[in-house]
């Protein structure tokens, strides 16, 4: 069996939106989350945040309540009214119990007051992410290709291959949606940050890298192009 090694420090799979109007704090939170390997987008007001969640599916939202244009409570209510179940961690200087109760009753999943410890913030984010991912498969299979997400190991054939983190993230995304056609835009949104400046053919480039490492040398090809639409991974009959 082949063992595919990845560079763990580069892995970016989880997308988090931070909504905070204090620039230095926003920058600090985003930097710490990125150091943990998360893809991070940011917004400084509720209206901008709502525009982002309408375009992108986030795994978690860190939300300040005292933000301009659309305050945090209004944003949270609208988010839940639209049927979005994204985990929300309220992060605010308001420590009043009645406000905390109101936020939780309106659909927040957790509440942390400022000032706070970054270690506690990260622990609470991890706890929220576990709740939404605990039922997801950890071992993915397509034909003789096996990806173990808990061990970060991929196996196929009898040779060892090294994947970069982006290659691994794209492969996992394809395998979690095996048989489905994913557009280039879907892959971009899932793997790269929203504000990442990318070239027009970056997805094609990485798919080419993956084909060389996953399919070259094997009779059965698993990664396929659907012309004019995107890419899929499946075992051909």
Asked if residue 102 and residue 170 are part of one domain, the reply reads no
Q: How many domains are there within the chain? A: 2
Instruction: Verify that 129 and 226 share a domain, yes or no.
Output: no
* CATH number where 49 lies: 3.40.50.2300
Domain identity same for 126 and 19: yes
237 CB contacts (<8 Å, ≥6 apart)?
Answer: none
Number of H-type helices and E-type strands within the chain: 8, 13
Residue 3 maps to a domain: no
**Cβ-based neighbours of 82, under 8 Å, separated by 6 or more:** none
- In this structure, are 110 and 218 located in the same domain? no
CATH number of 176's domain? 1.10.10.10
Is 174 found in the same domain as 69?
no
Same domain, 157 and 75: no
- pLDDT, tens digit (0-9, with 9 covering 90-100), for 117-144: 888 998 888 888 876 654 456 788 898 9
Q: Which of these three, 133, 148, 177, is where a domain ends?
A: 133
Final residue of a structural domain among 101, 133, 165 = 133
**DSSP string of 146-168, one letter each residue:** EEETTTTEEE-TT--EEE-HHHH
Q: Please work out, in degrees rounded to the nearest 5, the angle formed at the alpha carbon of residue 48 by the alpha carbons of 45 and 50.
A: 105
Q: Do 219 and 116 fall into the same domain?
A: no
Please say which residue of 72, 102, 133 terminates a domain: 133
Please, are residues 43 and 17 in contact by the beta-carbon 8 Å criterion?
yes
Cα 36 from chain centre:
12
Give pLDDT < 70 ranges for the chain.
Answer: 1-13, 131-137, 150, 158, 192-200, 237
Quote the domain boundaries for residue 70: 11-133
Q: What is the model's pLDDT at position 225?
A: 93
* One domain for residues 182 and 220: yes
Tokens 């059965």 correspond to: 220
Decide if 77 contacts 52 (C-beta within 8 A).
no
Q: How far apart are CA 105 and CA 103, in angstroms?
A: 5
Place of tokens 């509720």: 46
pTM above 0.75, yes or no: no
Reading the block at residue 29, the tokens are 């939170």
């Amino acid at each position: 069996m082949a063992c595919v090694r990845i560079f763990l420090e580069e892995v970016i799979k989880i997308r988090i939106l931070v909504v905070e109007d204090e620039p230095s704090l926003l920058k600090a939170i985003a930097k710490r989350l990125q150091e943990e390997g998360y893809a991070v987008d940011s917004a400084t007001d509720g209206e901008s945040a709502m525009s982002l969640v309408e375009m992108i599916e986030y795994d978690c939202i860190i939300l300040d309540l005292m933000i301009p244009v659309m305050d945090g409570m209004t944003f949270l209510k609208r988010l839940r009214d639209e049927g979005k179940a994204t985990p929300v961690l309220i992060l605010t200087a308001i420590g009043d119990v009645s406000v905390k109760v109101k936020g939780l009753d309106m659909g927040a999943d957790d509440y942390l007051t400022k000032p706070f410890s970054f270690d506690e913030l990260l622990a609470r984010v991890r706890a929220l992410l576990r709740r939404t991912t605990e039922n997801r498969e950890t071992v993915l299979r397509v034909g003789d290709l096996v990806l173990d997400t808990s061990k970060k190991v991929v196996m196929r054939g009898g040779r060892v291959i090294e994947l970069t983190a982006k290659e691994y993230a794209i492969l996992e995304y394809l395998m979690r949606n095996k048989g489905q056609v994913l557009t280039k835009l879907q892959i971009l949104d899932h793997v790269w940050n929203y504000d990442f400046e990318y070239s027009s053919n970056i997805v094609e480039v990485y798919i080419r890298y993956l084909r060389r490492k996953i399919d070259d040398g094997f009779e059965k090809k698993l990664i396929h192009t659907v012309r004019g639409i995107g890419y899929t991974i499946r075992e051909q009959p």
